Amino acid sequence: MEVCRNVVEQSLEASNALKDRDEPSNFSWIVPGELAAMGCPTSRDQLKTLAYRGISHLISLSEECVPPGIEQYTPLNWILVPVEEFHPPTMRQVVRFIEFCVNCRQKGEAVGVHCRMGRGRTGVMAACYLVYFLNVTPERAISTLRLTRPGSIETYKQERTIYEFRDLSRLENYDQIVLSLLEEPNEQVLLLQLEEQREKKKKAHSNYFQTEEIKKNMKVLEYNTLYIFLEILRNYVPFNPDVSQRRMTAVK
């Protein structure tokens, strides 16, 4: 909770600085000095603003909307990662994005990421960044982005991708999976592995409630809860000793 509050405050403070410069729409720092999110830059002046703010790399998620003249603008290293609008990036694309950010963080270089409006596709990448580097839950990452960047993460599938990446990053063999995804996109196998992990968790949870001790405790809890409810009810319903006694006997 405290981590996300700090992220929000720092993001707003950093984004409010230099507001007089021509910047891309929906621009804000996700983590100041590390990752910025935005809509598609539409002019060379906006690219200059990004470089002026210390951004070294610009990742475009929108093949249908790329910054004009970006290939010739040498102050920014430009990378195109095409994702269809209103769709989530593939897991391979998310992993490549995160691994690229790992290298940039080690060098102290800031990254900018954008799609057409800087909401859905960009929001997914930004949320995965928060999940991986700041160790926040997908719920907290999504709510933080929607607070600082209204409209972020537009579809259920986009939300689901963030949860799937969280599950992936927690696997013991995550490093090996990353290497395999970077070499060739065998995502179907990966999704099957994640589904197996979820089924194991569900089964373990179900078995827990099947033990005799747990069943006994649940019965006691149910009885106590009902007894408390009846005691409260007696304060609001005219008391009839005969009827009340019959009901309590039936409960027992």
Strand partners, 28: 37
**Cα 75 off chain centre by:** 30
Active site residue 104: no
- In this structure, the strands spanning 55-60 and 77-80 are parallel
Burial string for 195-228 (b: 16+ CB within 10 Å, else e) reads eeeeeeeeeeeeeeeeeeeeeeeeeeeeeeeeee
- In this structure, the strands spanning 77-80 and 110-114 are unpaired
Q: Which of 40, 101, 115, 128 is catalytic?
A: 115
Which residues are within 8 A (CB) of 139 and not within 5 positions of it... i.e. 6 or more apart?
none
The answer to whether 29 and 52 have CB atoms below 8 angstroms apart is no
The residues that are catalytic are: 115
